[in-house]
Amino acid sequence: MSQIHYISSEILDLKTIAAILEEHKKLQLSEESILNINTSRTYLDKKIKNSKTPVYGVNTGFGSLCNVAIQDENLTKLQENLVRSHACGTGDYVPKDIVKLMLLLKVQSLSYGHSGVHINTVQRLIDFFNLDILPVVYNQGSLGASGDLAPLAHLALPLLGEGEVWSGDTIINAREALKKNKLSKITLQSKEGLALLNGTQFMSAYGVIALIKAHKLSYLADVIGAISIDAFNCNLSPFSPLVHYVRPHRGQIKTAARILSFLDDSEIAATEKENVQDPYSFRCIPQVHGATKDVIDFTTKTFKTEINSVTDNPNIFPADDLIISGGNFHGQPLALALDYLCIALSELGSISERRVYQLIGGLRGLPPFLVDSPGLNSGMMIPQYTAASIVSQNKQLCTPASVDSIVSSNGQEDHVSMGANAATKLLKVVENVETLLSIELLNAVQALHYRQPLHTSSFLQSFTKSYREVVPFADEDRIFANDIKLGKTFIGSLNIDPEDLY
């Protein structure tokens, strides 16, 4: 029997979302959410019936057409036209796990009772989530300001029996999917199309997925960095708590302590060192990895606020008898945080590549390119080339999207966040960092072999033993692309205690 997550005012966090997705939990509205949604809808219906005052998006046009009045008999057509006209996304398909998360986040935002949607509409979004009816959404088209309009329009189209959805790994017509699951199409009522399209759920879903991965990559960068430290026969004095308590950045202190714990009881670490100092890529792991940790924490707080917020427009306040047009759909907080995280994660990859470069240099008793018979074998020469190429691409991807803005909607929407572009390129940087850490792991474990008969710590021996079951020692040249790919799969499949991640 599937576990259930109840949609309520209880705070959603990364740990909860990760559990919902990984454990394939079903969604269900709490009594609190049902009351909130129904109260808001009842209030809006009465307001439309008893007042002819123009309310943006309810009985007016949209964007620069906000002063065009719409008759009551056309309110459904207005909302459905909105969804159809805004469904003009392009580019690549949004990954299905992100689409599923978009559904969850949209339901959460609508559940607070400030959007005026009908309970049936919210329930149908829940049906889509629970039945894996995942709309086909494209990753280009959002300016990240008047909500993620184009992506969310594609998310909403199947409610009308239009657009396309995923059926496993194939794409089918939404009407067919509804029929297959014995569901009827939804007839949108006043404001519902706007409530579905306004919002930051595209940016938020990308950001949340990136953050879940970022917490894991931050932990693994420390583990793999620790293997490299022993493989390069480094001093542990730079990781002394005394060093870090006099510059007490939280992430720095945490990283240094973690490295020492990972290398506890290492025979290699206990040996007397000939080298007085180590290169920055080893010695400054606490400062560099730690700074990234602090950015991850900052971005996590920003997104935690966002995914527990109402981000459509206008906002309905039944208790105050008010409908207020505001700008909660503007993605500026997310755009800035996404760009910041992009830069921080890129630095994890950058310093990782520098450690690879040091390991293959024929220094400290290690053979050139970490292979027997160098010359006959090229060994780890070209994996470092690959890493350098990826690091360079990350630098290009780290150009901030949030510093750009293009006027839209005939000047009505004259400043936009470009947070959607920040979100999509961030995910590419995350994927690149996974590859870079796989390359470092390949090199570090290979180098560790040449430290025998001395052993690394018990913890790292266990870790490297598991890795060696997937990627064996390279005693001669082979197709290292396979090793990098297998290493990346190994990294992705590791189950790490959430308490070590969040």
What H or E segment, with its residue span, contains residue 443? helix 419-449
pTM for the full predicted model: 0.95
Q: In which residue are the tokens 């809808």 written?
A: 41
Q: What is the 3-state secondary structure (H, E, C) of 304-335?
A: HHHHCCCCCCCEEEHHHCEEECCCCCCCHHHH
pLDDT band for 59, please (50, 70, 90 cuts): confident
Is 56 labeled as catalytic in the residue annotation?
Answer: yes
Q: Is the pLDDT of residue 69 over 90?
A: no
> What distance in Å separates the CA atoms of residue 156 and residue 233, rounded to the nearest whole number?
56
Q: Catalytic one among 56, 206, 219, 340?
A: 56
Across the chain, mean pLDDT equals: 95
**Beta-strand runs (E) in 157-230:** 164-167, 170-173
Query: In the chain, what are the domains?
Result: 4-199 (1.10.275.10), 206-312+337-403+416-501 (1.20.200.10)
Minimum mean pLDDT among 149-163, 235-249, 290-304, 405-419: which range? 405-419
Q: What's the token pair of residue 99?
A: 């689409």
CB proximity list for 458: less than 8 A, separation 6 or greater: 264, 265
- The answer on pLDDT for 67 being more than 80 is no
pLDDT in tens, 146-183: 889 999 999 999 999 999 999 999 999 999 999 999 99
Give residue 62's pLDDT: 67
CA distance 35 to 44: 14
Q: How far apart are CA 454 and CA 103, in angstroms?
A: 52
